Structure 1
């Protein structure tokens, strides 16, 4: 795919820029580009007022966070551990905050002296001590590896994360809970590739791949509206069998009705 630039002349890749509603558990909009397209620039082009954007550390660019504020929206974003800031006020933690693992809650000026003007007002940072009960109990072993973005992922069951937000009205425990739910985005992408069968491209043009992505998302939303839950791998198989002529419409409807009844139990 000559249009899908990535790394060098011998490599091609496609990137899907997807806005996902954690509250609704559903995608809101999607754009398909070559892999070299900036994720921050794409999100900046679709920023809208009245939203709370939950972002990982890759989006923690101070000028970008300021643009979210200027759009009359807010953000909850993970900062890198070496983030520079100046403390303005230390907030008292509640019992609920401590039980959620919050170690401190501060109002700060974010950035070094050179970056201080990138954000126009003070924000909050919250440090949370997190531990994975599955690892501590021995039920699950976390693998240590280096990701494609060259960020190290530790084997340790415990870690400390630093979260920044311009929302001064929410309790620290709620800010931590919002960021915790960001993992639903990763689960959606895993489900999208594994269940909806989007590991293989049916076209090589940008328009063709965009159509494939939208068809998969539309199918997901229609089944979710019908059954009240996202499709399972079995649901995807039944749809494929129906279009191939190996399953009847009655069998497909019976399967989706079963999903609906299971969801109501």
Structure 2
């Protein structure tokens, strides 16, 4: 419910691709196998994976699935609630042609980084290319198994990232959007990585209050609810700050009696960065009341 409410309030059209834009990825949280025997990972190590479908435009997670850390990432693609006409952005770890073809058959669109050993034949080239687009072509997979898994043609875009000074190769079934928008969609995948970073560091889910599977899941979902509440508050108060700035300010101001609007208007974000490393009360700290 909280996820749905947060997404409704923060809906916008920054990409305007006539569909929602999602980034899908997972993060692993290491656990002590002796304390969390149900969280199988390695022989002497436990852990969980938080598989997240992140709404890039609203900056709110649309779907969360928690599994043992040993579960392969691509298997989580099977439980994503796909929407017709929406875009799903994946990293190279999710380059599974069988599952990508399922997305295609659902009339959804994907953007994924290509593997370096891709075997394909170029069928059609685009001649006029915008800056930083090295090539834009339609290909046919030629590998024995890959061709069976994805029997239709697919679009391949090679992009030069000036900032990182490196080349990226993307595969997509979205043949109707500009090549630069394909690159832009993938570039915004970093937002889910930022969400994971804040989930671990700012919402403090590296330390758990209980050792059962249910206790761990409750704490993770509580952190997600807190994140959504902040996103809703940010919208309702019309704050000119990102969700992460708001979270950081709240994290160091839990004992501050300043009215919220004054707190957000007077606090300088540079000061927040400096104070965030200090020991003090923050969201989901291990307090003993």
Query: Which residue matches 2:211?
Result: 204
After superposition, what is the alpha-carbon deviation per residue over 1:55-91, rounded to whole angstroms, capped at 9, x for unaligned? 0000011111111112221100001222111101001
Instruction: Write the distance in 2 (CA, Å) between the matches of 1:224 and 1:159.
Output: 34
1:187 Cα deviation (Å)?
1.1
Query: Which residue matches 2:275?
Result: none
SS in 2 for 1:204: coil
1:237 Cα deviation (Å)?
3.3
1:39 Cα deviation (Å)?
2.1
Q: Structure 1 residues 69 and 129 mapped into 2: Cα distance closer, same or farther (>3 Å)?
A: same
Q: Structure 1 residues 207 and 103 mapped into 2: Cα distance closer, same or farther (>3 Å)?
A: same
Query: Which residue matches 2:184?
Result: 177
What aligned pairs does 1:215-254 form with structure 2 within 5 A after superposition? 215-228=222-235, 229-230=242-243, 231-239=246-254, 241=255, 251=257, 254=259
SS in 2 for 1:232: helix
Q: Does 1:57 align with 2:62?
A: no
Instruction: Write the distance in 1 (CA, Å) between the matches of 2:145 and 2:98.
Output: 12
Q: Does 1:117 align with 2:151?
A: no
- Structure 1, unmatched stretches of 5+, are 133-156, 242-246
> Deviation above 4 Å: which 4+ runs of structure 1?
260-263
CA contact (8 A) 1:47 1:68 kept: no
1:214 Cα deviation (Å)?
1.1
1:42 Cα deviation (Å)?
1.8
Instruction: Write the distance in 2 (CA, Å) between the matches of 1:256 and 1:194.
Output: 25
SS in 1 for 2:253: helix
- Structure 2, unmatched stretches of 5+, are 1-35, 236-241, 269-289
Instruction: Write the distance in 1 (CA, Å) between the matches of 2:234 and 2:167.
Output: 39
Query: Which residue matches 2:112?
Result: 77
Q: Structure 1 residues 190 and 256 mapped into 2: Cα distance closer, same or farther (>3 Å)?
A: farther
Q: Does 1:188 align with 2:198?
A: no
CA contact (8 A) 1:235 1:256 kept: no
Q: Does 1:258 align with 2:279?
A: no
1:256 Cα deviation (Å)?
5.5
How many residue pairs get aligned? The number is 224
CA contact (8 A) 2:110 2:172 kept: yes
1:262 Cα deviation (Å)?
7.8
CA contact (8 A) 2:199 2:205 kept: yes
Instruction: Write the distance in 2 (CA, Å) between the matches of 1:20 and 1:76.
Output: 14
Instruction: Write the distance in 2 (CA, Å) between the matches of 1:46 and 1:159.
Output: 31
1:227 Cα deviation (Å)?
2.3
Instruction: Write the distance in 2 (CA, Å) between the matches of 1:64 and 1:232.
Output: 36
